[in-house]
């Protein structure tokens, strides 16, 4: 079947088998190997990508379902710089070891952070509980997400403060 | 005077330097074997046994061969022409026996998940489609499932040639054990049960094997912890010379011991590539990982402790039984965990009186072998469980009984009842530090206050010792070609940059980072000038790799020695250029300086320029050597023991049986800490794997040998929401065997986590008179113990 979709800002037209999962299409046909396969039954979260702004499991969505949609992967989020601060926090905090869960973990964390505010550690843990990490024990990940939330929050506050002062 | 690297100017030792490979991993630019695609590559899917034990009576691949995309279908008998079988025994584990294992079953299958037929096709999906069309008949045989029943003469013998299902037995008797129990005021006897669990690496095992007939060479892309071991074994069984095999290991999506073994399907892929003369790719899917990866633990330990009423431990005795699947796993065997249990019981305590027996039995389940912590979680849980139960019986605080029995910090060097040699441990300093960071009295007060309100919280402790930095005592002495030493080759390039090739490997623990730190410090160069190359048998020194908590202690020391040797060479050259005595010079921040006043004399870039491009300006009898190689293996002690103590604070819901982990503390002593952040994260990750075993993880089998929860939805692993923050602190007792003084840290977390959780649960449930000595501590198990299930 022919599908046309936007992947990381580029329009892609491709011929896919109806049974092809979105993540297999991204990895095998587009070479976007930053999205990973950990279980292929929707549990581990390693294949998390953004579909029309919401995070989905790439192993539970068929490529044909993404026809006409906007797909963003770790490659796209890296290139645009949208999560550069979060990536930097992950590196500084060693919030990844083998790195296999990391692209999806970042996308899931960014999904939480996009809502703004500074989530509690419990809220961060809860939000990331669909993403399995075998290496870190999660604490470093929670630290990195929490720190990024604070930085973004402080940046917003300081911008608001500057505006206030300018009035 | 022994060298103290942390005292050197510009030292990176002891600093939390970020790992150089993280940026690309956060950007999705890792290169895992599962990402790899090569020209002419075919994909393989295995038809695996649906039965735990059966004869294969008929195979018909006619319909399957006609399926789209199919390139070849290969049976076990056909593949046997390309790969000889192996036997997983080691000479020093006396009496250990196993049977020859082929990469794919021939005639008989012995576990559910054993590969039988390989289907090679243009895509994995097509290979799986075709595999479904294979017609295969089995004649079922009764399986041996239960560990306790495996030695029963009424049970089938899994390998007739071996006579029975007993793979290995070891006994140990130290001191007057019966007399010690007789004089004990209290003897506690319990059976401890440990569920089977597995590694669940997020990237399943993956391999791309590429036989190039033009080169007569096999390049194997493999996520492995031990590239040279795999080179040797693949060459040996495929009938190749070792130089004909190259193992390449780039990014590895988790390992934890899972990827240090020889697997039937990996060997099949290597042989299939040889057979077809083209690249063959296999990526395990999650469902097959659960039945094809090694499992771990699965021990039943009948155990006994005797104490006097003043809390002095008089004796330990254990009888351990463990089931390992149908074969002893090659080449590290499946007897090492049991052997470790025998060695480690009672390890933290002064108690020379100890008797042990372990029996290792075959069964029709997935193979069992070394996984993070190897034997430590079992030995620690049994020892610490017994110590706590004994304390409870004599009405002594669990801290006090430990104080009275932990080996004194000034007693070293000394040996355990089982003969383990300890260079320098710090049990009491660790205990004291733990008590101060956790504020023990306040927690006990809180526990008491909440108990009055019907909230049941518990505090549990677990002291432990950990085997790290193994020399040849683990494998080499038993005849396995697994290197005990590691090497580092360091060169100064023409721009003054430093390249280090190391034989240790990276699976996420930060091997690359710590090697860079060590080399930068040894050389006196900024760390961003150091590049580390690992995971390639063509381009690294020969060595063991990263397993058994040996990377930093052994590979790191080799890098240190090589860095110091190259520094000496550089200073000789600098002395020649500057007409100064080398001993009056030093290197700092990438420049040769005057040792006396720190004045810069010559940058390494300029020095390298002269050496490489203008050697004509040097004296005719001087040849610069800007590459140095050193190897290291500990010689004085067979292992560098570390120690530590963990504590857990948790709440048990006595209505639902759920355990909520509230706090977790670890104090450990791994000697010199090269990178504090990486050590702490190894500890935390290790703890969480131990917590998984304590509460969730269990490979459940039915009576027919079917693993009934072999998927990620039913096999539970720790997720972020249920894990606590883990506080980590250190005591530092460097090993004096090496210049760096580093010991291992990768398994300490796993060693004690389950033990202190079990003790905390029993502490929480003490008012109910409940003592549970089984993991995982599922809600069902807890409710049953409470009589509420």
Question: B512 to chain A: nearest residue by CA?
Answer: A97
Question: A82 to chain B: nearest residue by CA?
Answer: B27
Angle CA(B743)–CA(B415)–CA(B340) in degrees, nearest 5? 65
Asked if omega into B776 is within 30° of 0 (cis), the reply is yes
Q: Do B721 and A41 touch (CB under 8 A)?
A: no
Rounded CA gap, A82 and B761, in Å? 45
pLDDT at A44 over 80: yes
pLDDT at A146 over 80: yes
Q: If pLDDT is split at 50, 70 and 90, which confidence band does B485 have?
A: very high
Rounded CA gap, B437 and B451, in Å? 23
Asked if omega into B231 is within 30° of 0 (cis), the reply is no
Q: Tell me, yes or no, if B202 comes closer than 8 A to chain A by beta carbon.
A: yes
Taking residues B725-730, what's their average pLDDT? 98
pLDDT at B484 over 50: yes
pLDDT value for B265: 97
pLDDT value for A159: 83
Rounded CA gap, B126 and B713, in Å? 26
Q: With beta carbons less than 8 A apart as the criterion, state whether B464 and B748 touch.
A: yes
Rounded CA gap, B560 and B516, in Å? 10
User: Residues near B623 by Cβ (< 8 Å), separated by ≥ 6?
Assistant: none
Q: Do A34 and B28 touch (CB under 8 A)?
A: yes
Among B249, B434, B385, B401, CA closest to B754: B385
Q: Do A134 and B252 touch (CB under 8 A)?
A: no
Q: Do B252 and A98 touch (CB under 8 A)?
A: yes
Q: Is B395 exposed, middle or buried (0-12, 13-18, 19+ CB in 10 A)?
A: exposed
Q: Do B677 and A137 touch (CB under 8 A)?
A: no
**Alpha-helical regions (H) of B349-426:** 376-394, 398-405
Q: Which residue has the higher pLDDT, B365 or A158?
A: B365
**ipTM score of complex:** 0.97
B554-572 pLDDT, tens per residue?
999 999 999 999 999 999 9
Q: If pLDDT is split at 50, 70 and 90, which confidence band does B8 have?
A: low
Residues 11-30 of B with CB under 8 A from A: 16, 18-19, 21-23, 25-30
Q: With beta carbons less than 8 A apart as the criterion, state whether B743 and B468 touch.
A: yes
Q: Do A96 and B201 touch (CB under 8 A)?
A: no
Provide Rg for chain B, Cα atoms. Answer: 28
Q: What is the mean pLDDT of chain B?
A: 97
Q: Tell me, yes or no, if A114 comes closer than 8 A to chain B by beta carbon.
A: no
Exposure b/e, B519-556, CB count within 10 A at least 16 = b: bbbbbbbebebbebebbbbeebbebbbbbbbbbbbbbb
Residues 31-90 of A with CB under 8 A from B: 32-41, 43-44, 46, 73-75, 78, 87, 90
Give the single-character DSSP code of B649: E
Check the CA dihedral B766-B770-B771-B772 and report its sign. negative
**For strand B280-283 and strand B42-48, is the pairing parallel, antiparallel, or unpaired?**
parallel
Residues 505-544 of B with CB under 8 A from A: 507-510
Rounded CA gap, B46 and B770, in Å? 47
Q: If pLDDT is split at 50, 70 and 90, which confidence band does B182 have?
A: very high
pLDDT at B19 over 70: yes
Q: In whole angstroms, how far apart are CA B31 and each of B36, B251, B261?
A: 7, 6, 22
B31-44 pLDDT, tens per residue?
999 999 999 999 99
Taking residues B737-754, what's their average pLDDT? 97
pLDDT at B17 over 50: yes
In A, which residues are within 8 Å of B19 by CB distance? 91, 94
Taking residues B334-339, what's their average pLDDT? 97
Rounded CA gap, B356 and B11, in Å? 47
B276-306 pLDDT, tens per residue?
999 999 999 999 999 999 999 999 999 999 9
The H or E element spanning position B522 is helix B511-523
Out of B309-318, B372-381, B416-425, B469-478, pick the least confident.
Answer: B469-478
Q: Tell me, yes or no, if B129 comes closer than 8 A to chain A by beta carbon.
A: no
Partner residue facing A102 (CB), from B25, B712, B726: B25
Q: With beta carbons less than 8 A apart as the criterion, state whether B502 and B515 touch.
A: yes
Rounded CA gap, B723 and B742, in Å? 29
Q: With beta carbons less than 8 A apart as the criterion, state whether B209 and B247 touch.
A: no
Q: Do B28 and A125 touch (CB under 8 A)?
A: no
Q: In whole angstroms, how far apart are CA B292 and each of A24, B312, B704?
A: 23, 45, 17
Q: With beta carbons less than 8 A apart as the criterion, state whether B380 and B348 touch.
A: no
B198-220 pLDDT, tens per residue?
999 999 999 999 999 999 999 99
pLDDT value for A157: 86
Minimum distance, in Å, between the CA of residue A133 and any CA atom of chain B: 7
Angle CA(B303)–CA(B343)–CA(B730) in degrees, nearest 5? 100
B707-720 pLDDT, tens per residue?
999 999 999 999 99
Minimum distance, in Å, between the CA of residue A65 and any CA atom of chain B: 19
**Lateral strand order in the sheet of B498-502:** B530-533, B498-502, B486-492, B627-632
Rounded CA gap, B628 and B541, in Å? 11
Minimum distance, in Å, between the CA of residue B382 and any CA atom of chain A: 24
pTM value is 0.97
Rounded CA gap, A94 and B724, in Å? 18
**Lateral strand order in the sheet of A48-51:** A10-15, A2-7, A70-72, A48-51, A54-57
pLDDT at B249 over 70: yes
Q: Tell me, yes or no, if B201 comes closer than 8 A to chain A by beta carbon.
A: yes
Q: Do A125 and B721 touch (CB under 8 A)?
A: yes
In B, which residues are within 8 Å of A138 by CB distance? 688, 718-720, 723
Q: Do A124 and B720 touch (CB under 8 A)?
A: yes
Q: In whole angstroms, how far apart are CA B731 and each of B309, B643, B690, B697, B734?
A: 31, 9, 22, 31, 10
pLDDT value for B545: 96
pLDDT at A165 over 80: no
What residues does B75 pair with on adjacent strands?
B117
Q: If pLDDT is split at 50, 70 and 90, which confidence band does B4 have?
A: low
pLDDT value for B433: 98
Q: Do A136 and B34 touch (CB under 8 A)?
A: no
Taking residues B347-365, what's their average pLDDT? 98
Q: Do B718 and A91 touch (CB under 8 A)?
A: no
B129-164 pLDDT, tens per residue?
999 999 999 999 999 999 999 999 999 999 999 999
Partner residue facing A38 (CB), from B286, B719, B723: B286
Q: Do A94 and B687 touch (CB under 8 A)?
A: no
Taking residues B154-175, what's their average pLDDT? 97
pLDDT value for B2: 42
B439-482 pLDDT, tens per residue?
999 999 999 999 999 999 999 999 999 999 999 989 999 999 99
pLDDT value for B156: 95
Minimum distance, in Å, between the CA of residue A90 and any CA atom of chain B: 8
Q: Do A90 and B32 touch (CB under 8 A)?
A: no
Q: Do B202 and A101 touch (CB under 8 A)?
A: yes
Rounded CA gap, A35 and A100, in Å? 9
pLDDT at B355 over 90: yes
B585-637 pLDDT, tens per residue?
999 999 999 999 999 999 999 999 999 999 999 999 999 999 999 999 999 99
Q: Tell me, yes or no, if A125 comes closer than 8 A to chain B by beta carbon.
A: yes
Residues 493-512 of B with CB under 8 A from A: 507-510
Taking residues B578-583, what's their average pLDDT? 97
Q: Tell me, yes or no, if B717 comes closer than 8 A to chain A by beta carbon.
A: yes
pLDDT at A167 over 70: no
Q: Tell me, yes or no, if A140 comes closer than 8 A to chain B by beta carbon.
A: yes
pLDDT value for B789: 79
The H or E element spanning position B137 is strand B135-140
Rounded CA gap, B77 and A28, in Å? 33
The structure tokens 């693949």 sit at: B234
Q: Tell me, yes or no, if B214 comes closer than 8 A to chain A by beta carbon.
A: no
Q: Tell me, yes or no, if B442 comes closer than 8 A to chain A by beta carbon.
A: no
B637-665 pLDDT, tens per residue?
999 999 999 999 999 999 999 999 999 99
Rounded CA gap, B663 and B434, in Å? 13
Q: If pLDDT is split at 50, 70 and 90, which confidence band does B1 have?
A: very low
Minimum distance, in Å, between the CA of residue A32 and any CA atom of chain B: 8
Rounded CA gap, A130 and A133, in Å? 10
Q: Do A94 and B18 touch (CB under 8 A)?
A: yes
Minimum distance, in Å, between the CA of residue A154 and any CA atom of chain B: 24
Q: If pLDDT is split at 50, 70 and 90, which confidence band does A162 have?
A: confident
What residues does A160 pair with on adjacent strands?
none
Angle CA(B299)–CA(B303)–CA(B304) in degrees, nearest 5? 170
Rounded CA gap, B286 and B8, in Å? 48
Question: A39 to chain B: nearest residue by CA?
Answer: B286
pLDDT at B3 over 80: no
């Amino acid at each position: 079947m022919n599908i046309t979709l936007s992947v990381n800002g580029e329009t892609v037209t491709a011929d896919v088998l109806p049974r092809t999962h979105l993540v297999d299409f991204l990895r095998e046909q587009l070479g976007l190997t930053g999205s990973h396969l950990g279980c292929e039954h929707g549990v581990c979260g390693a294949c998390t990508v953004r579909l029309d702004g919401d995070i989905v499991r790439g192993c539970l969505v068929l490529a044909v379902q993404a026809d006409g949609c906007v797909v963003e992967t770790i490659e796209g989020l890296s290139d645009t710089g949208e999560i550069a601060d979060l990536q930097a926090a992950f590196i500084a905090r060693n919030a990844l070891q083998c790195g296999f869960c990391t692209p999806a973990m970042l996308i899931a964390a960014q999904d939480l952070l996009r809502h703004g505010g500074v989530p509690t550690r419990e809220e961060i843990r809860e939000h990331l509980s669909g993403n399995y990490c075998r290496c870190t024990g999660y604490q470093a990940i929670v630290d990195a997400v929490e720190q990024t939330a604070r930085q973004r929050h402080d940046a917003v506050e300081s911008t608001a403060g500057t505006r206030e002062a300018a009035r | 005077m022994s060298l103290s690297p942390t005292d050197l100017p510009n030292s990176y030792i002891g600093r939390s330097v970020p790992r150089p490979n993280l940026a690309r991993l956060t950007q999705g630019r890792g290169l895992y074997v599962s990402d790899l695609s090569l020209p002419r590559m075919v994909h393989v899917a295995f038809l695996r046994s649906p039965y735990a034990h059966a004869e294969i009576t008929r195979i018909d691949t006619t319909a399957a061969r006609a399926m789209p995309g199919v390139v070849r279908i290969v049976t076990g008998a056909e593949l046997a022409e390309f790969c000889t079988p192996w036997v997983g025994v080691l000479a020093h584990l006396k009496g250990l026996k196993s049977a020859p294992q082929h990469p794919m079953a021939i005639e008989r299958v012995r576990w559910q998940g054993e590969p039988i037929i390989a289907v090679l096709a243009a895509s994995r999906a097509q290979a799986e489609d075709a595999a479904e069309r294979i017609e295969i008949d089995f004649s079922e045989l009764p399986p041996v499932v239960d560990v306790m029943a495996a030695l029963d003469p009424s049970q089938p013998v899994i390998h007739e040639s071996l006579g029975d299902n007993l793979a290995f037995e070891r006994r140990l008797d130290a001191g007057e054990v019966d007399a010690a129990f007789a004089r004990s005021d209290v003897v506690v006897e319990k059976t401890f049960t440990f569920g089977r669990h597995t590694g669940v690496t997020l990237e399943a095992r993956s391999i791309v094997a590429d036989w190039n007939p033009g080169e007569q060479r096999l390049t194997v892309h493999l996520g492995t912890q031990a590239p040279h071991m795999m080179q040797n074994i693949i060459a040996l069984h495929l009938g190749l010379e070792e130089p004909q095999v190259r193992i390449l290991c780039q990014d590895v999506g988790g390992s934890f011991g899972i990827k240090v073994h020889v697997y039937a399907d990996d060997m099949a892929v290597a042989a299939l590539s040889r057979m077809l003369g083209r690249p063959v790719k296999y990526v395990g899917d999650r469902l097959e990982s659960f039945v094809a990866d090694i499992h771990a633990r699965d021990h039943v330990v009948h155990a006994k402790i005797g104490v006097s009423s003043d809390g002095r431990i008089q004796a330990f005795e254990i009888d351990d039984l463990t089931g390992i699947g149908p074969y002893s796993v090659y080449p590290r065997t499946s007897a090492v965990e049991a052997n470790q249990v025998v060695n480690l019981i009672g390890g933290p305590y002064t108690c020379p009186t100890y008797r042990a027996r372990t029996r290792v039995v075959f069964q029709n389940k997935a193979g069992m072998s070394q996984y993070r912590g190897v034997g430590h979680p079992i030995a620690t849980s049994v020892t610490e469980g017994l110590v706590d139960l004994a304390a409870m019986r004599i009405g002594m605080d669990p801290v006090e009984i430990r104080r009275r029995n932990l080996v004194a910090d000034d007693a070293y060097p000394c040996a355990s009842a089982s003969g383990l040699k300890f260079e320098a441990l710090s049990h009491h300093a660790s205990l004291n530090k733990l008590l101060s960071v956790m504020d023990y009295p306040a927690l006990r007060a809180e526990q008491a206050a909440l108990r009055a309100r019907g909230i049941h919280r518990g505090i549990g402790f677990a002291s432990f010792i950990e085997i790290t930095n193994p020399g040849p005592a683990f494998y080499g002495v038993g005849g396995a070609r697994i290197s005990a030493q590691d090497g580092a080759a360091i060169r100064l390039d023409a721009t003054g940059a430093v390249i280090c090739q190391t034989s240790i490997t990276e699976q996420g623990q930060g091997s690359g980072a710590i090697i860079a730190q060590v080399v930068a410090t040894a050389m006196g160069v900024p760390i961003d000038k150091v590049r580390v190359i690992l995971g390639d048998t063509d381009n690294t020194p020969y060595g063991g790799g990263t397993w058994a908590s040996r990377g930093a202690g052994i590979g790191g020391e080799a890098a240190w020695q090589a860095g110091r040797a190259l520094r000496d060479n550089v200073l000789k050259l600098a002395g020649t250029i500057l007409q100064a005595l080398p001993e009056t010079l030093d290197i700092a921040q990438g420049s040769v300086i005057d040792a006396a006043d720190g004045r810069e004399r010559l940058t390494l870039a300029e020095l390298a320029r002269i050496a490489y491009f203008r050697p004509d300006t040097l004296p005719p009898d001087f040849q610069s050597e800007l590459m140095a190689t050193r190897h290291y293996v500990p010689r004085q002690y067979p292992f560098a023991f570390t120690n530590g103590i963990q504590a857990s604070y948790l709440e048990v819901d006595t209505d639902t049986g759920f355990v909520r982990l509230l706090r977790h503390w670890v104090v450990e002593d791994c000697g010199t800490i090269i990178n504090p952040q990486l050590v702490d994260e190894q500890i935390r990750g290790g703890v969480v794997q131990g917590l998984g075993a304590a509460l969730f993880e269990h490979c459940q089998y039915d009576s027919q040998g079917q693993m009934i929860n072999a998927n990620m939805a039913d096999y539970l692993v720790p997720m972020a929401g249920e894990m606590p923050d883990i506080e980590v602190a250190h005591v530092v007792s460097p090993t004096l065997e090496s210049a760096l003084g580093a010991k291992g840290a990768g398994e300490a977390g796993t060693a004690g986590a389950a033990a202190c959780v079990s003790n905390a649960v029993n502490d929480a449930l003490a008012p109910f008179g409940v003592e549970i000595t089984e993991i995982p501590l599922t809600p069902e198990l807890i409710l049953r113990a409470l009589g509420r299930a």
